[in-house]
Structure 1
Amino acid sequence: MSHSSRKPSKRKRKIITIVKLLFGMTILGLLVSTIFLVYLYNTNLPVADTDRNSRILDNQGQLMATLSASGRSYDPVTLEQISPLLIEATLSVEDRKFYDHVGFDIKGMGRAVLVNIEQMNRSQGASTLTQQLARNLYLSHAKTWSRKLKEAFYTVQLEMKYSKSEILQMYLNEIYYGHGAYGIEAASRMYFGKSASELSLAESALLAGIPKGPTYYSPYNHMDNALSRQKIVLSTMVTTGYITKQEANTAAREKLTFLPQGEQKTIVTAPYFRDYIRQFVVNELGITEDQLDHGGLNIYTTLDAHAQQAAEEAVAKEMDPDSDLEAALISVDPRTGYIKAMVGGKKYQNNQYNHTLATTRQPGSAFKPIMYLSALSSLKMNPLSTFKSEPTLFHYDNNRKTYQPSNFGDKYLGEIDMREAIAASDNIYAVNTIMTIGSDKVVETAQKMGIASPLQAVPSLALGTSPISPLEMASAFGVIGNGGLRMTPIAVTKITDATDEIIYDAEPNQGKQIVDPAAAYVLTHLMESVFDSGGTGNRVSSMMKRPVAGKTGTTDTDAWLVGFTPELATAVWVGYDKGRNIESTDGRRAAPIFAQYTEKALENVPPKIFPIPDGVVSVYINPESGLLATADCPNKTLEVFIQGTEPTEYCTLHGSEIEELPIEEVQIQDHSWWSNLKQWWME
């Protein structure tokens, strides 16, 4: 055997060395790459701007608003809540291979590199949806190599940590569509006034084309550009097989209807409540504005989304959008104090002033139940206490001052009791009442019920001449509806930081017993007459399908209806900001708003009667004499009293024989919810 056959040639050894080196470099590269990928996977992504925004959640833990320094509109939705046509249009024009690549379009990047080398700049790009998302979430839009490198790292991390569907959902919720609208839901509502789930093919194609140039392709700024871009999107959808050419042509010819540019702000859930929460956590809880804007806080509130929608719909239905007349609605659960709904004005875009917190409005006769509660609880009066309804000059302050009220329309009813006075809203009876029990006593009771606004201890207080906010009124009426137990209004139950640590936890609302439950129930029973025949709320009684008590109130400048069921205490106010006098038609808007809201908010809650506490007695009386009815009395009415204040003598107007009446023999002359409920039960 020759020497050359025993020993590899020099050239062969060199090749082997190179192969080993390449193999080693490959292994090393794979090892380094693996380590780097593991590092990226285990490294947290930066906190996105939208993640730094604090969130306001409703009573079910659902997102209702975000708080940010930029004030950007952000309404995140799931893929299931977005029209498939919009998703297909976006993928066609922005990233056709989205489901095939791992974050980068290699061929597209190659073409872009060649163009950039040829033009000696970095003008050409080939960003995938994942790259765009990384840039929008974590980086600026500056065209620098360092930004590109970070973008690549974040793109890899996004692809590693999230599924394709999650990335697409984040992208569609993050991308900018112009005019302050971030995300497809905000854009859809801004341009077309509808949810993203309702978008047509033509609308989807137009919106999908905007992110390439939100200003240049905005239909508000350049309609021709927007429609031209829409046709390009439709063409790409044909190419990718999502739609046919005929469908594309039909969509291109469709005439789109946009919301007027003056209304281009996106719809925000409960904007007045959102602002109220922001003020509350800053002013009352000591949380800074910076924490709100950049701390990623979760603010859990008491707002009921269903009740809020019912409130907004009721106000919108009854109010004229072209009038300066304003409205407010605030609703509280009397059992817990939780604020369930808040509408601070007719249209937030035009007027951000929250009228539910306004302490400059006179409640008028809506204040009377607070006074009557004071009268009943003092045991100085009962439902049968009578005064003569007639023009009267009252003397007070040791006879040094006089006050002469009048009834609406100068209508006087003669001798009436408390039930008739409440139903008809008689002013003379009310002033006689406050003169009997003392205005100081009424002020004391009102303050215990949660009225913090200053009250003047004068006879006119009985007619609601001291301004009180709707929130105070709703809370005070909640005391009546909750058996005299006051629950402090609560809007925020808990706040957690970005790490889900609790930084605020509301103390349980123990409540405070303001008056005897029997007094509160007797007043509730009387206030139900407001919605009976002859009552000031009778015209909306047909709309109410459940037990409800309340009181109307009207002044020259304000109209109210404040009322409650066992579940909700609600105040509705209507008036003008500048104190302008309201017309009679304006004053009739509060009651329908209250009725529509209450029924809609409680549509899934079975009607409940107000619970009858201990210390209440029910007796049949003859309304002519105010005494206990006998078998000879032709008219008999069931009335409730605080035990010990009921009449003890029997009526002798229709016979001298006294015979105790079996309950089943009495035909109650009552058209309230109680008789309706009995009739329904018997049927």
Structure 2
Amino acid sequence: MTKPNSGSPGSKRRLPFRIAAERWMPLFRRMKRWLIIAGCGMAVFLLAAFAFLFYLRTQTLPASSISQTSQILDFQGNVIDTFHAGENRQSVPLKRISPYLLEATLAIEDQRFYDHLGFDMKGMARATLINLEHLEAKQGASTLTQQLARNLYLTHERTWKRKLKEAMYTVQLEMQYSKDDILGLYLNQIYYGHGAYGVEAASQLYFGKHAADLSLAESAMLAGIPKGPKYYSPYMDMKNAKDRQRTILSTMAEQGILTHAQAEEAGNELLKFQPLGTQQQGGIAPYFRDYIRSIAVDQLGIDEHLLSEGGIRIFTTLDSEAQQAAEDAVTQSIPTDSQQQAALISIDPRNGYIKAMVGGRNYKTNQFNRVFADTRQPGSSFKPILYLAALQEGAMTPLTRFKSEPTVFTYDEGRKTYAPRNYNDKYGNGEIDMRQAIASSDNIYAVSTIMAVGPEKVIEMARRLGISDKMKPVPSLALGTSPISPFEMASAFGTIGNGGARLTPTAIVRIEDRKGEVIYQAKPEEKQVVSAAHAYVLTSLMESVFEAGGTGNRVSAMIKRPVAGKTGTTATDAWLVGYTPELATAVWVGYDKDRKLTAAEAHRAAPIFAAYTEKALAAVPPKIFPVPDGVVSVYIDPASGKLAANSCPNKRLVAFVSGTEPTEVCGEHGDAPASADDAKSQAEQSKSWWQQLKRWWKD
């Protein structure tokens, strides 16, 4: 019987593979199913991820309140003080930060900043391995973006919720800002110790310079501080700070940013740090700073929050050198153990800019600003306003004469009397003219003048000059019995010095917001309140105060330039108010509680005025007061008050408003009047101070 054909040898060999395939096929089917499921899952995950990213992209980041320090700057653009609510911060754009600091920060904090998308995976892996190796958190891997998200929007608590939010905000920051924007935000936000937030505040605190001007060594030092200000601040531990600086320089060299020689040279550089606390001592001109704040808030309507945290910049009129001269003059003229107070206010009469302000001798112990105290009698320093009214009204000329002798004046329709006296009962014992009266501060002449012109006209003149204080229309007004603040006295004299053109005193030139946009611009307006000719004639008369026989003559040698002014003394107050073509200054000295002044104490105002004026104008060449149109200068015979003839032994050059000069010539022989054209007039007027200048130069 034939056996059935069991197949070819090839069929027998394929049988095991078929059996294997049949066995593995279910597994392959299951794997295919899982792959499909996994693929679908991945697709769903990617779709969800893209949807989540799209959601984050469309959401706005939380509002972050980044306070910025507001600054007060002087006329030259130097910071003189700051306002801040706990955080000293001044934001600056990236272009105003030293490239060295940018490189140093990235080298030590986030080397792949411009390559990652907010998270440095390589850095995270390295940190994880190091931490596992040491079984503790030895190294972090936060990027600058993560640190910024944490500082802007979150606390530093260690919770998964906070970490999740940090990741979300990091992604949003990367999607909504450029890398440069993120770096700029970070550098303006980070804390550098000692109350300084951001690179600009830190640069000023540690080195007294702008962030744009930092050297390589300084940049590496600053870049190391944020990791731990308590440990790496040079004020706290110089060794730690120096070690970290050198680590940063070495890292920069390893990355090819520097050569090793450059890194070593910078590491060996001796850095000059600002004394700690310099930025927290209230700045210079503290009384002026308070005045600026009051103007900004009360007059300009700047919000207190904006002023304290808005990063605004207030550009002022203050001249820091003049301010220092003012503070030095006050300090050096009054003994340190004295309780006597002082005030000084100085204004540029040409534009109304306040150049210096001293409100008292010690701001730390007493913040009351005496520059604005309107309870002080100006005494005889008020008399120029009286004489200007008399000149302007045409009631008098510089040659008008009154007797200088004890006199009883009757007023109020004969119902009242007033009997003034001269200081120390010194009188001219005869008739004197206006120049003599101003120089010697004759009280009888002053009251005779107010009786001739009328108190109402004097008050009207004071109002024109910007004096708003209440004044009574009585004869004693001529002697400065109505209180007026030093501020208004300086402003009034500045108007006279500016040829009768008044400008409202200005302290703030402009204000910029944190973006540099101007939110306020001063627009001073000039108003002619007195004729230039009358103002000049009075100025010429007031120069006599600093000449021989004048009440300010004892300090004339200290002032090597033309100056006009007037002293004033009461039982409790001493003044000198005066001006040059560039500065109008009022100085007051006295006691806060109306204590009477000794003779020595009453003589301190003039030296303060003289020392300040000369030092503040040290770099300014002396100038004569400009002679306006409508003024003539002629030689006068002092004895007769007539035009001086060639034969007159004594001649005095006197300025008049055209048409008010005398026409009758003195001289027994009918001589022609002495010639005095404008050029010769100016030369004669400047003769005395030029002689002083020459003597000073020779000495």
Deviations 1:391-418 (A, max 9, x none): 55555553634333332x5544444322
1:177 paired with 2:188, answer no
1:621 paired with 2:636, answer yes
Deviations 1:212-265 (A, max 9, x none): 56678889xxx8x535643543553575467649966988xx9x9956x7x772
> Following the alignment from structure 1 to structure 2, what is the Cα–Cα distance between the partners of residues 105 and 247?
29
The amino acid across from 1:95 in the alignment is E
The alpha carbon displacement at 1:542 in A equals: 5.2
Corresponding residue number in structure 2 for 1:660: 673
1:233 paired with 2:249, answer no
Unaligned runs of 5+ in 1: none
Corresponding residue number in structure 2 for 1:304: 317
The amino acid across from 1:431 in the alignment is V
Deviations 1:151-204 (A, max 9, x none): 525763797263798567635xx63523x4545676677789x55789999999
Contact 1:91 1:98 in 2 (8 A): no
- Counterparts of 1:594-613 in structure 2 under 5 Å? 594-595=609-610, 598=613, 609-613=624-628
> Following the alignment from structure 1 to structure 2, what is the Cα–Cα distance between the partners of residues 570 and 531?
15
Root mean square deviation of aligned Cα: 5.5
The amino acid across from 1:661 in the alignment is A
Contact 1:308 1:342 in 2 (8 A): no
Closer, same or farther in 2 for the Cα pair 1:501/1:97, shift >3 Å?
A: closer
> Following the alignment from structure 2 to structure 1, what is the Cα–Cα distance between the partners of residues 200 and 342?
28
Corresponding residue number in structure 2 for 1:156: 174
- Counterparts of 1:58-207 in structure 2 under 5 Å? 67-68=83-84, 70=85, 72-74=87-89, 91=105, 95=109, 97=111, 109-110=124-125, 125-127=140-142, 132=147, 135-136=150-151, 139-143=154-158, 144-145=162-163, 148-149=166-167, 152-153=170-171, 156=174, 160=178, 162=180, 166=184, 170=188, 175-178=191-194, 180-182=195-197
Counterpart of 1:49 in 2: which secondary structure? coil
Closer, same or farther in 2 for the Cα pair 1:664/1:163, shift >3 Å?
A: same
The worse-fitting range, judged by mean Cα deviation, of 569-578 and 200-209 is 200-209
> Following the alignment from structure 1 to structure 2, what is the Cα–Cα distance between the partners of residues 421 and 665?
25
Counterpart of 1:467 in 2: which secondary structure? coil
The worse-fitting range, judged by mean Cα deviation, of 195-204 and 588-597 is 195-204
Counterpart of 1:617 in 2: which secondary structure? strand
Contact 2:572 2:590 in 1 (8 A): yes
> Following the alignment from structure 1 to structure 2, what is the Cα–Cα distance between the partners of residues 238 and 499?
33
Corresponding residue number in structure 2 for 1:316: 328
- Alignment counterpart, residue 387 of structure 1, candidates 402, 413, 422: 402
The alpha carbon displacement at 1:332 in A equals: 3.5
Unaligned runs of 5+ in 2: 1-13, 19-24, 252-259, 695-699
The alpha carbon displacement at 1:462 in A equals: 2.5
TM-score (normalizing by structure 1): 0.74
The worse-fitting range, judged by mean Cα deviation, of 635-644 and 659-668 is 659-668
Contact 1:315 1:593 in 2 (8 A): no
Deviations 1:10-57 (A, max 9, x none): 7999999899999989998998899799879xx789565335x76667
Contact 2:329 2:611 in 1 (8 A): no
The alpha carbon displacement at 1:292 in A equals: 4.7
Counterpart of 2:655 in 1: which secondary structure? strand
> Following the alignment from structure 1 to structure 2, what is the Cα–Cα distance between the partners of residues 81 and 542?
49
Deviations 1:406-451 (A, max 9, x none): 32x5544444322233233333433333333333332232123221
Corresponding residue number in structure 2 for 1:280: 295
Closer, same or farther in 2 for the Cα pair 1:230/1:669, shift >3 Å?
A: closer
Counterpart of 2:639 in 1: which secondary structure? coil
Closer, same or farther in 2 for the Cα pair 1:343/1:318, shift >3 Å?
A: closer
The alpha carbon displacement at 1:641 in A equals: 1.2
- Alignment counterpart, residue 416 of structure 1, candidates 432, 441, 461: 432
Larger Rg over CA atoms: 2
> Following the alignment from structure 1 to structure 2, what is the Cα–Cα distance between the partners of residues 510 and 161?
51
TM-score (normalizing by structure 2): 0.72
Contact 1:94 1:129 in 2 (8 A): no
Contact 1:629 1:636 in 2 (8 A): yes
> Following the alignment from structure 1 to structure 2, what is the Cα–Cα distance between the partners of residues 502 and 76?
16
> Following the alignment from structure 1 to structure 2, what is the Cα–Cα distance between the partners of residues 157 and 606?
61
Closer, same or farther in 2 for the Cα pair 1:373/1:146, shift >3 Å?
A: farther
Corresponding residue number in structure 2 for 1:525: 540
Counterpart of 1:177 in 2: which secondary structure? coil
Give the percent of matched residue pairs that are identical in Structure 1 and Structure 2.
Answer: 49
1:50 paired with 2:64, answer no
Closer, same or farther in 2 for the Cα pair 1:308/1:157, shift >3 Å?
A: farther
Closer, same or farther in 2 for the Cα pair 1:228/1:54, shift >3 Å?
A: closer
Corresponding residue number in structure 2 for 1:643: 658
Contact 2:398 2:435 in 1 (8 A): yes
Closer, same or farther in 2 for the Cα pair 1:243/1:123, shift >3 Å?
A: closer
> Following the alignment from structure 1 to structure 2, what is the Cα–Cα distance between the partners of residues 97 and 392?
91
Deviations 1:137-158 (A, max 9, x none): 5655455325523652576379
The alpha carbon displacement at 1:628 in A equals: 0.2
- Alignment counterpart, residue 515 of structure 1, candidates 530, 535, 538: 530
1:353 paired with 2:353, answer no
- Alignment counterpart, residue 486 of structure 1, candidates 497, 502, 509: 502
Closer, same or farther in 2 for the Cα pair 1:297/1:677, shift >3 Å?
A: same
Give the count of matched residue pairs.
651
Closer, same or farther in 2 for the Cα pair 1:17/1:675, shift >3 Å?
A: farther
Contact 2:533 2:628 in 1 (8 A): yes
Contact 1:531 1:672 in 2 (8 A): no
Closer, same or farther in 2 for the Cα pair 1:510/1:668, shift >3 Å?
A: closer
Deviations 1:562-612 (A, max 9, x none): 223444433233444344455666555544554565566667766654443
Closer, same or farther in 2 for the Cα pair 1:373/1:249, shift >3 Å?
A: closer
The amino acid across from 1:659 in the alignment is A
> Following the alignment from structure 1 to structure 2, what is the Cα–Cα distance between the partners of residues 339 and 157?
50
> Following the alignment from structure 2 to structure 1, what is the Cα–Cα distance between the partners of residues 209 and 518?
34
Closer, same or farther in 2 for the Cα pair 1:134/1:562, shift >3 Å?
A: farther
The alpha carbon displacement at 1:522 in A equals: 0.9
